[in-house]
Structure 1
Amino acid sequence: MCWFNLRTILLAGVFAILSTVASGEAVSASDRLTSTFKNVILMIPDGCGIAHFTLARWYKGTPLACDALNVALVRTYCSNSYITDSAPAATAYATGYKSENNYISVLPAVYAMPGITLPAGKENMPVATVLEGARLSGRATGVVATSMTSHATPAAFTSHWYARSNEAILMEQQVYQGVDVLLGGGRKQVMTPVDSGVRPDNENLLDTLKARGYSILTTREELAALPSHTGKVWGQFNLDALSRDFDRSLPVYQHQPSLADMTQKAITLLSNSKAGQSKGFFLMVEGSQVDWASHANEPVGVLSEYLAFDSAVAVAKNFTETNGKTLLLVLSDHDNGGLSLGGSRTNSTYSIRPLDSLLTAPLRKATLTGAGIKLLLGDDRSSNAIIHALGTYFGITDLTPDEISTVTAASAGRMEHVLGTLMSKRTDISWTTTGHTGNDVPLYYLGTNDQLKILQNTDVARICAKAMKVDLDKVTDSLFRRADKLFGNATSMTVDTVGFNNASGSLTVVMNGKTAIFPFNKNELIVDGNKHLMNGLTVYSFQNNTVYVPAQALSILKGISGRLKKK
């Protein structure tokens, strides 16, 4: 063989290896985890990149709670873009599969990134989450967020739908998922319009929750007073998302618990539950609004929300260190805003910038975020109101006439961005975008000294599953069977899709002389008016026109028919 051909073959092999490594599919980091755990706590500061951690650390003046943990790095791209949306990012963390933008724990139909493959016929199919796997393993489960709990990240652990915007469906699945502890915002999604809610199907899900034995909470005081051995708990402390943490001083928000409060209570409830004592628990905690403040390029909001998250991490870290049977993972789903400490204004002076040029007086003095200032101003955009609000609560006492005019003219949807721009220009903080970026993000972890190194975001779900001895593929096979194949011997099957996008619709199966109704998005099988609970949800795939049900549905239906025959 000539040297040219040998060199060509060697180079081809090297490029093949590099291509595999670049796609991130070479070695699963879950294979590097050698231990198993009773409990897993997954904490996500949504939209938080390296610069967010750095800014928060400088502002706090002491180490962050995660600084003492082990560190790895996570690649964040989704199936159709090198910059991910929160929905597929959370789907990767929840299911172990990359999906496409807007998809919530459903496999993608679009593959535009290297190294991502899927067996034919699996497109748009729901796949099991680590929360569902934990529940089937006998563990207690919990979700905590500062957003509406039907928002993309928390929903990805409890729900399955192709559009993150359809929070009516995501919330309904969340209710019927059987989560033991849920704390956050979004109460309007469980209430009908008559009760100040927004449910399009007019189903009062609060009644459903009460019938299923949940304690319903709406205030910080109720959460604090809740006994530590309470059973199922559903706490939604605002009709919409919770407020920014800095803004809790405003009277309208004073009855909302902090993220640390919710995290502490969730850990207490889950660890003291019967399932938690016996098998353990899985808990997902999201600091949702670092992301929202970053979309607005608003640094005070970033600090408010990351420091609130930092306090929650301290709670989880303390439990992990004292419990000894817990794996704690702390990582963002993606970077946002292109936040930079330094920018074009520091091009020629970057090497001599004092810390005070970053942590300027306005930034240090701000006690409300841009969202809080927007609420405080309301419809009063007079110069006096703006000067007073920003001078008293936002640290800016040197507004120019042009800046006052900009605030006056800002629409409600732009106000936070306008205020963020005013603050950023008074510091060395810069932004490159109001959207997400494709940067890798850090993973901080505690409970194991295994070297996780560089991970795919899909590895996070596999690590959580392996830690709990859960096989996600087997859980998917158990929870999501095609109804047309599972009930292949049925006399008839009818799919009613009327109103499916408004959380309605059902599957009707006639089999062994009995008629069974499977309402979409619920874990109920109805025969002769009697409800039978399944271990998973009925999920309709609009793109495939296919209904997925738990494998258990067949045995339940056969059991009902068998009992009738004996009679």
Structure 2
Amino acid sequence: MSCSHRLRLELEMKYRPFFMLLTALLASLVQAESSNSEEPRAVILLIGDGLGPQQLTMARNYLTGSAGQLLVDTAPVYASIQIETEAADGTPLYVPDSANTGTAMASGVVTNINHVGVRPDGTPVTSIIEAASRAGYRTGIITTAAVTDATPATFLAHISHDDCENPAVILGGTVYGRHFPGCPEEATENGGPGSTAEQIAKSPVDLLLGGGRVHFLPTIAGSNQRVRDAASENGFLVVDRLGQLDALTPGQRALGLLAKENLKVRMRGSGSRKAEPVTLTDPSNPNAPVILPPPMSCEPNPEFGDTPTLRQMTATALRLLSAENPKGFFLMVESASIDKQSHQRNPCGAIGEVQQLEEALAEALKFTESHPRTLILVTADHSHGVQIVPEPSAYGGGAAEGVHSPGKIARLKTPEGGLMRLNYGVNNYAVTEHTGANVALFGNAEAKGLVTPYMRQREIHTVMMRYLSLAPQPTSSNTHE
């Protein structure tokens, strides 16, 4: 035997245990990676309706102080989201609503204002809930609005106007005090898919929690069956209280109609005060002194009572969707009244709903401790018409010289002892409007490599579909490719 051969044998004998250990370790790593790839995957999309940059800053200032941070601020992934909307003639619009922005996130399509789950030409598009359900994932939606409201509707229904929420209004009538022509061509009696509530009753979603009981009470055209009964016939356990879901078994479908319309909000302005107009002492003299609304505080809303919190609903949904589920799930959680309270120029109501969204996020993050293959995204559908403005004005000497912010204002006393002036000056109508600013997207660690610093809103849909290994839908058939 040669010296070189003997040396090689000696080395093999000496280091054989090491190589065997290394081989076993590599095999275990490969097996673990294979096992991880087979773990259930989940996507939790949290939407703060109307949570634009001003609302987020306003809530942060009030809830944590100007030097504090919200839970969402600790997210390791951040992106700026460009909103896209178009008019009926195909030209771009720069201020959206919840219907078209919800459709962008649910289905990846740029569409018109008021359009729910349809392209500009009315063609239905597949939502992530429909795709996920077909692929064997469980699906759920939670909202503090009616379950038929624009944002949740975009994940479940396909209709040309988000106000066509039930069989009574789809043929037209009065909505928000104004004449509404309805969507008669989409009514079931005219061969259409029916109102949003009717479509939800036939949808594949496993769990749907929110308000909107009133929309499930009308009867379906051509029958004596209420929409609520149609949902039961389709396999939903329809409940009116959150506690009724405790008896659900894994895999059982449920529709929770937990309020007549929208769920009550947690906070209100002291004495129910909202933003108020400035009093002009001499309207003919722009430099005359003005009288500002007195400062106000936030207080608990006595109407909130036993209203289910967003955190409670989120915890319930996570428990039901994950139990005995080897595949995974998709869940959308919406704090809807950030928008609704902003429309009413009620800063305290909106701040309380941001707080609710924060608590729901905490519940989602807690879930990831035992379910790491969970993608969490927090975003907004659009921004809203409020500005944080100087208190007092930096010019002229303030109210004594007539310098004031236009529109209705709220001078909000913060817990840290400051005074934050908020200006609702988008319009002079009874309700204020959305604005066209970019919104934020926050993601947990699972979003790394999927989310880029700047994205278009429809690309959120692509990110979620890819994470669940679902084939993304074509982004659009219109000019915004």
TM-score normalised over the length of structure 1: 0.58
Name the CA shift for 1:187/1:443 in 2 (closer, same or farther; >3 Å).
same
Partner of 1:83: 95
Is there any run of 5+ residues in structure 2 with no aligned partner, and where? Answer: 1-37, 88-92, 167-194, 269-298, 398-408, 427-431, 477-481
Amino acid at match of 1:431: Y
Partner of 1:305: 353
Is 1:71 the counterpart of 2:70? The answer is no
The offset of 1:360, in angstroms, is 6.9
Give 2:196's match in structure 1, choosing from 162, 170, 173. 170
**Structure 1: distance between partners of 2:224 and 2:332:** 29
Amino acid at match of 1:75: Q
The offset of 1:50, in angstroms, is 1.1
**Structure 2: distance between partners of 1:179 and 1:319:** 21
**Structure 2: distance between partners of 1:255 and 1:201:** 35
Partner of 1:39: 42
The offset of 1:349, in angstroms, is 9.8
Amino acid at match of 2:387: S
Do 1:334 and 1:437's aligned partners in 2 also have CA atoms closer than 8 Å?
yes
Partner of 2:471: 471
Alignment of 1:59-208 (within 5 A): 59-61=62-64, 62-69=68-75, 70-80=77-87, 81-108=93-120, 123-168=121-166, 169-192=195-218, 203-208=225-230
Name the CA shift for 1:341/1:228 in 2 (closer, same or farther; >3 Å).
farther
Do 2:206 and 2:251's aligned partners in 1 also have CA atoms closer than 8 Å?
no
The offset of 1:175, in angstroms, is 1.3
**Structure 2: distance between partners of 1:215 and 1:93:** 28
Name the CA shift for 1:246/1:85 in 2 (closer, same or farther; >3 Å).
same
Amino acid at match of 1:207: D
Do 2:107 and 2:458's aligned partners in 1 also have CA atoms closer than 8 Å?
yes
Partner of 1:347: 394
**Structure 2 residue matching 1:147: 3-state secondary structure:** strand
Alignment of 1:349-368 (within 5 A): 362=413, 364=415
Partner of 2:321: 270
**Structure 2: distance between partners of 1:292 and 1:75:** 22
- The structure carrying a bigger helix percent of its residues is 1
The offset of 1:322, in angstroms, is 3.3
Structure 1 residues 226-250: Cα deviation after superposition (integer angstroms, max 9, x where no partner): 4563611111111111111237976
The offset of 1:87, in angstroms, is 0.6
**Structure 2: distance between partners of 1:267 and 1:150:** 21
The offset of 1:201, in angstroms, is 6.8
Do 2:138 and 2:329's aligned partners in 1 also have CA atoms closer than 8 Å?
yes
The offset of 1:318, in angstroms, is 1.8
Do 1:77 and 1:438's aligned partners in 2 also have CA atoms closer than 8 Å?
no
**Structure 1: distance between partners of 2:387 and 2:454:** 23
Partner of 2:234: 212
Name the CA shift for 1:308/1:79 in 2 (closer, same or farther; >3 Å).
same
The offset of 1:362, in angstroms, is 4.8
Is 1:239 the counterpart of 2:260? The answer is yes
The offset of 1:444, in angstroms, is 0.3
**Structure 1: distance between partners of 2:332 and 2:159:** 19
Give 1:285's match in structure 2, choosing from 317, 321, 333. 333
**Structure 2: distance between partners of 1:245 and 1:201:** 39
**Structure 2: distance between partners of 1:199 and 1:445:** 44
**Structure 2 residue matching 1:291: 3-state secondary structure:** helix
Amino acid at match of 2:143: A
**Structure 2 residue matching 1:281: 3-state secondary structure:** strand
**Structure 1 residue matching 2:162: 3-state secondary structure:** coil
More relative contact order in 1 or in 2 (CA 8 Å, sep 6+)?
2
The offset of 1:475, in angstroms, is 13
Amino acid at match of 1:244: V
Structure 1 residues 10-43: Cα deviation after superposition (integer angstroms, max 9, x where no partner): xxxxxxxxxxxxxxxxxxxxxxxxx997111111
> Identity percentage over the alignment?
28
Partner of 1:55: 58
**Structure 2 residue matching 1:43: 3-state secondary structure:** strand
Do 2:116 and 2:153's aligned partners in 1 also have CA atoms closer than 8 Å?
yes
The offset of 1:364, in angstroms, is 5.0
Structure 1 residues 180-234: Cα deviation after superposition (integer angstroms, max 9, x where no partner): 00000001111137xxxx98975312223333333222124334x4456361111
**Structure 2 residue matching 1:143: 3-state secondary structure:** strand
**Structure 2 residue matching 1:260: 3-state secondary structure:** helix
**Structure 1: distance between partners of 2:442 and 2:347:** 23
Root-mean-square deviation (CA, aligned residues, Å) is: 3.2
Do 2:212 and 2:262's aligned partners in 1 also have CA atoms closer than 8 Å?
yes
Partner of 2:379: 331
Name the CA shift for 1:191/1:327 in 2 (closer, same or farther; >3 Å).
same
Amino acid at match of 1:40: V
Amino acid at match of 1:283: L
Structure 1 residues 100-139: Cα deviation after superposition (integer angstroms, max 9, x where no partner): 011001101xxxxxxxxxxxxxx32111001111101100
Partner of 2:437: 439
Is there any run of 5+ residues in structure 1 with no aligned partner, and where? Answer: 1-34, 109-122, 351-357, 366-423, 477-567
TM-score normalised over the length of structure 2: 0.68
**Structure 2 residue matching 1:141: 3-state secondary structure:** strand
Amino acid at match of 2:448: N
**Structure 1: distance between partners of 2:351 and 2:94:** 27
**Structure 2: distance between partners of 1:182 and 1:464:** 19
* Larger radius of gyration between Structure 1 and Structure 2: 2
Name the CA shift for 1:55/1:252 in 2 (closer, same or farther; >3 Å).
closer
Alignment of 1:453-472 (within 5 A): 453-472=453-472
